[in-house]
């Protein structure tokens, strides 16, 4: 489906794209606005309810952990060997000095346990014969104490939690003490640990001022951050955990509840419903802000779409301007494949046109090279090589007979040059053969320039066996002698054939008058005609690229009064 819609969109016209994009965008914003405003409030309220219940769950677990530690403390007391020894002695003895000493030891041991937690306000130990040993706040004799002890006896050593009547935020933990010696399980007494729930909560939880937290034990509140909400939880012992909306006094409240998993306690987290409504209002404002952002986003998308339509046309205009300047690059534009609309078709047609123009230019260029090569071969065919060689040999013999060694040397060099140039029909010859042509040519030119011409040749070992286009170095040396040495009193021409990592590097350098950048550009443009053989730098440059590829060709470095350096690379090629 997505691919089908995308295909249809690509085939649409520009005006149709703008129309349908705007239509569906506005439709999407309208529908989203109606749905969002309808559901976001309920969704956010549900999140607040869940958050309140989760907060209560965390708080109750922290309190339960403290109570379990207190339960462990009470277990340590009822199984303490010293306390059991003291109680067994006190239950059997009369009031005498030894009983007084045991009482002192008993109180010292109780004090040790009383100091374990800050929220313990008092610990009482009741002996089997009715004596009471108290550490901490004084505890009055309560009417319900008999019921407490009966509950502890029925628990058979398990802990019993009870609210303390008349004392706010105080809970007592009771346990029966039985003899552990010989596992007799004889009744020795009771231990009562009184703790301040407010101190326990303050040390355990970090309650914010705006929240109301309440703990009830057997439907009796044992802790509350606000006494006004005690009646709200009275007679409310819901099973498990959850939350509900409860009307109370002149308002409504969110009451989250959770029963302790290990103690007979119920925890309540109370949140005014007005606070939730205020947060809901904040959510609505946030949604309004989001809708504004969506609207601005729609404007940005509209701008992006219009830009996407005009950018291909601007790119096409820029390419046309480059063609006017002579740049016929045929690189594919990315706009050709982005869509199927009119702009993509324009880009494809324009590239096709450039390819056809480049093909015509290349065909014409190759024809010109063929014509020039044909002319060159026709010139070669006009000379009878064997007649020429025999004639030159005769002249050489006559010069030697008449002891004209210089004439003999020049004619011999000319004969060698003609034999290398005319006899070898292949376009590529060995570098050693090309350099021999250069040596013969320089030997001829020494007759003319005598001491004015200094020639230097440097060749890295092993390079003479590789191949180079015929008449590549010699025409450059010829130009260096004619335009360099010929224009000065004394000049030097050097030829270097060097080995590089990927290519063979050839340099022909002279110390003549040099030339400016404009003259160099005219040479490569074919505006400067070569003297001598007529094979100019542009011809050599074109032949190198035609044979070896576009990355090869001639480079020229020259400055007025600072000589000229002609350089080119050729690949390592053998036949």
Find out whether 67 and 262 touch, Cβ atoms under 8 Å.
Answer: yes
Please report the sign of the dihedral spanned by the C-alpha atoms of residue 384, residue 390, residue 395, residue 399: positive
SS3 label, residue 235: coil
519 and 545 together in one domain:
yes
367 and 307 together in one domain:
no
Q: What is the pLDDT of residues 329-387, one digit of tens each?
A: 655 565 555 666 666 666 667 677 777 777 777 777 776 776 666 555 545 554 455 44
Tell me which of 279, 311, 343 is where a domain ends. 311
CA distance 490 to 130: 138
290 and 360 together in one domain:
no
CA distance 441 to 413: 7
475 and 542 together in one domain:
yes
| pLDDT given at position 521 | 86
Q: What b/e string do you get for 362-397 counting C-beta neighbours within 10 Å, with b at 16 or more?
A: eeeeeeeeeeeeeeeeeeeeeeeeeeeeeebeebbe
With respect to residue 478, please indicate whether it lies within any of the assigned structural domains: yes
In the DSSP assignment, the letter for residue 526 is: T
Summary mean pLDDT of the chain:
77
Full-model pTM: 0.46
332 and 302 together in one domain:
no
| pLDDT given at position 460 | 93
172 and 241 together in one domain:
yes
Q: What is the pLDDT of residues 531-545, one digit of tens each?
A: 554 467 888 898 899
Q: Please state, in angstroms and as integers, the Cα–Cα distance from residue 30 to each residue in 34, 291, 298, following that order.
A: 6, 10, 12
232 and 368 together in one domain:
no
**148/231: higher pLDDT:** 148
* Mean pLDDT of the 468-495 span: 86
Residue 514, Ramachandran bin (φ over 0: left; ψ between -120 and 50: alpha; else beta): left
**488/37: higher pLDDT:** 488
CA distance 112 to 73: 11
With respect to residue 541, please indicate whether it lies within any of the assigned structural domains: yes
With respect to residue 382, please indicate whether it lies within any of the assigned structural domains: no
**Chain centre distance of CA 287:** 31
Number of domains composing the chain: 3
Enclosing domain of residue 527: 424-571
**Chain centre distance of CA 260:** 48
188 and 261 together in one domain:
yes
213 and 303 together in one domain:
yes
Q: How confident is the model at residue 169 (pLDDT cuts 50, 70, 90)?
A: confident
Q: What is the pLDDT of residues 27-80, one digit of tens each?
A: 677 667 667 666 666 666 666 667 777 777 788 888 888 888 888 998 988 888
| pLDDT given at position 360 | 74
| pLDDT given at position 456 | 93
Find out whether 482 and 531 touch, Cβ atoms under 8 Å.
Answer: yes
Per the DSSP assignment, residues forming a β-bridge with 557 are 565
360 and 496 together in one domain:
no
With respect to residue 269, please indicate whether it lies within any of the assigned structural domains: yes
44 and 93 together in one domain:
yes
With respect to residue 406, please indicate whether it lies within any of the assigned structural domains: no
507 and 535 together in one domain:
yes
First vs last C-alpha separation in the chain = 61
Tell me which of 311, 346, 362 is where a domain ends. 311
With respect to residue 481, please indicate whether it lies within any of the assigned structural domains: yes
Q: What is the dihedral of CA 364, 368, 371, 372, to 10 degrees?
A: -170
Question: Residue 394 pLDDT more than 90?
Answer: no
Q: How confident is the model at residue 457 (pLDDT cuts 50, 70, 90)?
A: very high
């Amino acid at each position: 489906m997505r691919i089908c819609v995308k295909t249809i969109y690509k085939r649409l016209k520009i005006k149709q794209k703008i129309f349908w994009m705007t239509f569906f965008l506005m439709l999407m914003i309208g529908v989203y606005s109606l749905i969002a405003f309808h559901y976001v409030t309920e969704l956010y309220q549900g999140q607040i309810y869940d958050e309140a219940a989760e907060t209560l769950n965390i708080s109750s677990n922290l309190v339960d952990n403290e109570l379990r530690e207190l339960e462990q403390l009470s277990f340590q007391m009822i199984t303490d060997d010293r306390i059991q020894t003291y109680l067994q002695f006190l239950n059997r003895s009369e009031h005498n000095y030894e009983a007084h000493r045991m009482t002192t030891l008993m109180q010292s041991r109780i004090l040790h346990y009383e100091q374990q937690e800050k929220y313990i306000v008092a610990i009482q130990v009741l002996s089997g014969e009715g004596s009471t040993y108290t550490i901490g706040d004084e505890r009055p004799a309560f009417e319900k104490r008999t019921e407490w002890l009966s509950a502890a006896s029925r628990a058979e050593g398990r802990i019993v939690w009870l609210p303390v009547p008349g004392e706010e935020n105080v809970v007592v933990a009771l346990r029966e003490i039985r003899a552990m010696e010989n596992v007799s399980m004889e009744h020795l007494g009771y231990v009562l640990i009184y703790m301040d729930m407010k101190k326990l909560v303050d040390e355990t939880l970090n309650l914010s001022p705006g929240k109301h937290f309440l703990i009830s034990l057997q439907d009796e509140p044992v802790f509350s951050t606000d006494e006004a909400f005690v009646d709200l939880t009275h007679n409310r012992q819901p099973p498990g955990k959850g939350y509900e909306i409860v009307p109370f006094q002149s308002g409504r409240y969110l009451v989250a509840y959770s029963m302790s998993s290990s103690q007979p306690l119920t925890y309540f987290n109370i949140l005014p419903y007005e606070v939730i409504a205020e947060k809901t209002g904040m959510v609505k404002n946030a949604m309004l802000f989001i809708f504004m952002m969506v609207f601005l986003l729609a404007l940005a998308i509209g701008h992006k779409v219009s830009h996407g339509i005009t950018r291909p046309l601007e790119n096409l205009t820029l390419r046309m301007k480059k063609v006017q300047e002579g740049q016929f690059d045929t690189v594919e534009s990315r706009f050709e494949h982005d869509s199927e609309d009119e702009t993509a078709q324009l880009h494809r047609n324009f590239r096709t046109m450039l390819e056809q123009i480049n093909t015509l230019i290349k065909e014409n260029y190759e024809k010109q090279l063929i014509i020039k090569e044909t002319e060159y071969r026709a010139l070669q065919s006009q000379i009878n090589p064997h007649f020429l060689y025999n004639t030159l040999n005769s002249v050489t013999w006559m010069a030697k007979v008449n002891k004209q060694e210089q004439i003999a040397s020049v004619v011999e060099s000319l004969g060698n040059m003609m034999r290398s140039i005319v006899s070898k029909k292949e376009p590529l010859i060995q570098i050693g053969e090309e350099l021999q042509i250069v040596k013969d040519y320089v030997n001829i030119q020494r007759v003319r320039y005598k001491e004015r011409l200094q020639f230097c040749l440097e060749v890295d070992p092993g390079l003479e066996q590789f191949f180079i286009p015929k008449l590549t170095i010699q025409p450059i040396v010829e130009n260096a002698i004619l335009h360099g040495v010929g224009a000065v009193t004394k000049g030097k021409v050097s030829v270097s054939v060097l080995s590089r990592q990927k290519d063979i590097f050839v340099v022909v350098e002279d110390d003549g008058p040099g030339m400016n950048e404009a003259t160099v550009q005219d040479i490569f443009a074919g505006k400067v005609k070569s003297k001598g053989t007529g094979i100019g730098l542009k011809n050599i440059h074109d032949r190198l690229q035609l044979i070896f590829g576009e990355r090869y060709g001639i480079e020229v470095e020259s400055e007025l009064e600072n000589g000229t350096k002609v350089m080119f690379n050729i690949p390592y090629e053998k036949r």
